[in-house]
A and B are shown apart, each in its own frame.
Chain A
Amino acid sequence: MHPAPSLILFTVLSGTGFGLLVWLGLGLRAPTGLAAFILFGLGYGLSGAGLLAAAFHLGHPERALKAFTQWRSSWLSREAVLATATLGVMAPHAASSVFAHAPLPVFGWLGAALALATILATAMIYTQIKAVPRWAHWSTPLVFILAALAGGAVIAAQATLGAWLMLGLGLAMAVHWYSGDRQFAASGSTLGSATGLGGLGTVRLLEPPHSGQNYLLREMVHVIGRKHANKLRAISLGAGALLPALLLLLPMGYAAVTLALIAHLGGMLAQRWLFFAEAEHVVGLYYGQR
């Protein structure tokens, strides 16, 4: 799949933002005044920036409001509804924390639950796609949720919790890669099943339907990004999870937390790039590619 920068930024930034809002909503960190202004500002800013980046991915952003209508069947629509609901429900809690120095736990808890559901909905947009076997696995939502909660915990300066979540994230990423490498074969889709000719013999592409590029190849048969998969996995695991965990366990204060956050976000950008670039869509079979 094509690793669109807008989608990579969207999933990383808004995930981290909503992860932070989960912890702020639960009252794990209950800042007031200026501290609340900065932390809630980061939560709203990151999630808002991510959603804005996603809107740039649309062909017709001016019709984006229509995306709130199909929550009965569509995870993308649910994501839009849940994200808006989170930001709305959390607002009284945030405003009261900042201006009245009085958190409103009921709004906070409800907002935290909605924020968690938003992260899940983002992950399900990808997990639901059976045509991309690497994504259609329970480890996809696990990685998205742990990445968001770990990143959020770091911003909330929850060192111990953050370190454990980072280690969990590392494990989840490893599971996602291990299972992902086997998912395509497990899906049972081959050029034989795609053409229905597999029973006759071995099928191969003789002539593609067009000599040039097209939307399908550009969007879904992105093969160049996988060349450095192993190096990028090492960067994702090291910078995205293990190094932040180590930094958070060291008694170094806010400097370590800042370094951990930078390393984590860098690692997650690499992980998310790979999440798209490595994912093979079954339509590639028709083009003799994966």
Chain B
Amino acid sequence: MTCLPKTTERKLGLVIDLDTCVGCHACVISCKGWNTEHYGAPLSDMDAYGGAPEGTFLNRVHTFEVARPEAPPMVVHFPKSCLHCDDAPCVTVCPTGASYKRTEDGIVLVNETDCIGCGLCAWACPYGAREMDGAEKVMKKCTLCVDRIYNDTLSPEDREPACVRTCPSGARHFGDLSDPDSDVSRLVAARGGFDLMPEQGTAPVNKYLPPRGRDTLATPDLASLCEPAPAAAGGFLGWLDRTLEKL
């Protein structure tokens, strides 16, 4: 049913730390790997060995530069995937009931056997979180690795989304954002976590943590730390230099 639930029992989601993300794209690759080998249609690549390769991904890393007044510019790596919005516009536009938001944990999913591939949900999403698979012609999106987090056959440390499990810099956190005492909620409170495009009224569950303002212009003038280029030597060394140059 594409009507959104009024409330969800839990709000499982991600907290992404823009301060520690190093832009390695490991989350992109692990996501593609897990979601190609497991639940649903595989994430296809089109023209993979040709001149214009492209593929379906559920998670992509953009890199932005922030020009700050009175401070050096800052490079911010920015992973982006489905935010599992409380007021998800992608769900309500779906004509078939393929898109739905789960009441038990708030995860937004697509039932691929009901998807007619109309693409309207991808239009409705302000974040570009949904991509139509080029081969299967059904809508693909982040499942929050629903087939990992409840999977008893995996060892307990693996029961989190593939992107979180693989992140080498600890920039991705997974948990219940409806519980104010959860690790992720405390992290959001401590670091001033924010929503993306709040003006779109989607009420995202996923939060982003801002980069810390560690660089300031008060750091020493780097040019003054450089040795000046050595002046031409005189005396014996100068004669030696000139002679060796002529040889």
Interface residues of A (CB under 8 A from B): 1, 57-61, 63-64, 66-70, 72-77, 80, 125, 128-132, 187-189, 191, 193-197, 200-210, 212-216, 219-220, 281-283, 286-287
Contacts and interface: CB of A to CB of B under 8 A. Distances in A.
Given A130-B89, A216-B128, A74 B197 contact: no
28 contacts: A59-B119, A60-B115, A61-B116, A66-B97, A66-B114, A67-B95, A67-B96, A68-B95, A72-B3, A73-B1, A73-B4, A74-B2, A128-B124, A130-B200, A132-B123, A197-B18, A200-B210, A200-B211, A205-B64, A208-B62, A210-B54, A212-B53, A214-B54, A214-B57, A214-B131, A281-B126, A283-B128, A286-B128
Contacts, number: 199
Interface of B: 1-4, 18, 28, 52-57, 60-69, 71, 73-76, 78, 80, 89, 91-98, 114-120, 122-128, 131-132, 134, 136-138, 194-201, 208, 210-211, 213
B95 A202 contact: no
Q: Which of B3, B28, B66 has the most CB of A within 10 A?
A: B66
Contacts of B127: 283, 286
B200 A282 contact: yes
Majority DSSP secondary structure for residues of B touching A: loop
Contact of A64 (B116, B132, B196): B116
B89 A194 contact: no
A75 B93 contact: yes
B62 A58 contact: no
Given A77-B95, A215-B122, A219-B123, A59 B65 contact: no
Contacts of B116: 58-61, 63-64, 66-67
B119 A76 contact: no
A219 B61 CA distance: 19
